[in-house]
Chain A
Amino acid sequence: MQLEYSIEGGDFSHAGFASSQVKRVLKQLNVDPKLIKRVVVCLYEAEVNVVAHAYSGIIHVLINTNEIVMKLADKGPGIPDISLAMQKGYSTASDKVREMGFGAGMGLPNIQHNADDFKISSNVGEGTNLEITIKL
């Protein structure tokens, strides 16, 4: 099964919509709630990052019998130093993002922690790509 969603940068009222839809589908498929939580926590932090740091993005979620693969591709400023961005506490978030309860530099490390496999790549001035895999 493949699901696709688009995300708009800056649109905090809809941040989390895709994660919510994916959660619904996984529940219907009777996936273990502990696994669902890991999937949607990763996807939600990744979705919030697109809203917080990029201009627009596309999410593809692939659900197989043995794994769930989430791909996020955004158009945005990109990340100049990925190893720095992966460090706990590193954040360039605006006050607006902090008001929303994010922007403490914990998103990417938490995605890494919850994922079985996590790939991140970025081109400065173009955008950022994430691939998050969770084994079922």
Chain B
Amino acid sequence: MKIREVADIVQGVVLSADDMLDHEVEFAFASDLMSDVLTIPTEKLVLITGLSNIQTVRTAEMADVQCVVVVRNKKVTNEMVELANENHIVIIECSSSMFKTSGLLYQNGIKPIY
């Protein structure tokens, strides 16, 4: 599905890289542990995370993750938005829990990696 559909499904707010909203994603991985994210070779991945700091965006950059959903109303800083724009990474902020966000995306056809 397209990243814009991800934003709709989780009722989130797109904060960066709206040039990427038509980009396709297929899988999702939910974790607050960036080392965990860095072990995943899968492409077209959405990262669902409760960790909101500059290393979240750096990790997405290194792992070629084009879409990051930040859950539980965690504050996304301007610095994160800037870095995400530079790297064409869509950050979506949403108020649901990680469990609910994952469930909604799974229900709508986003696949798990394992």
Contact = CB atoms under 8 A, between A and B. Distances in A.
A119 interface: no
Interface in A74-107: 99-104, 106-107
A40 B64 CA distance: 10
A41 B38 contact: yes
A27 B95 CA distance: 35
A102 B62 contact: no
> What are the 8 A-B residue pairs with the smallest beta carbon separation, nearest first?
A101-B34, A16-B58, A106-B35, A40-B62, A44-B62, A100-B55, A101-B51, A41-B38
Contacts of B39: 106, 110, 113
Contacts of B62: 16, 19-20, 23, 37, 40-41, 44
A114 to B, nearest CB: 9
Contact of B55 (A16, A33, A107): A16
B54 interface: yes
Interface size class, chain A: 20 to 34
B55 to A, nearest CB: 5
A107 B33 CA distance: 11
Given A100-B34, A102-B35, A104-B33, A37 B63 contact: yes
Given A12-B54, A20-B58, A44-B58, A101 B35 contact: yes
B36 A104 contact: yes
25 contacts: A13-B54, A16-B55, A16-B58, A19-B58, A20-B61, A20-B87, A23-B61, A33-B64, A34-B41, A41-B62, A41-B63, A44-B38, A44-B58, A45-B35, A100-B34, A101-B33, A101-B56, A102-B33, A102-B34, A102-B35, A102-B55, A104-B36, A106-B36, A110-B38, A110-B39
Nearest to B34: A101
Interface of A: 12-13, 15-16, 19-20, 23, 33-34, 37, 40-41, 44-45, 48, 99-104, 106-107, 110, 113
Interface string B34-51: 111011010000000001
B61 A110 contact: no
A110 B41 CA distance: 12
The A interface is mostly helix, strand or loop, or mixed, namely helix
A133 B56 CA distance: 26
A48 B34 CA distance: 11
A103 B34 CA distance: 9
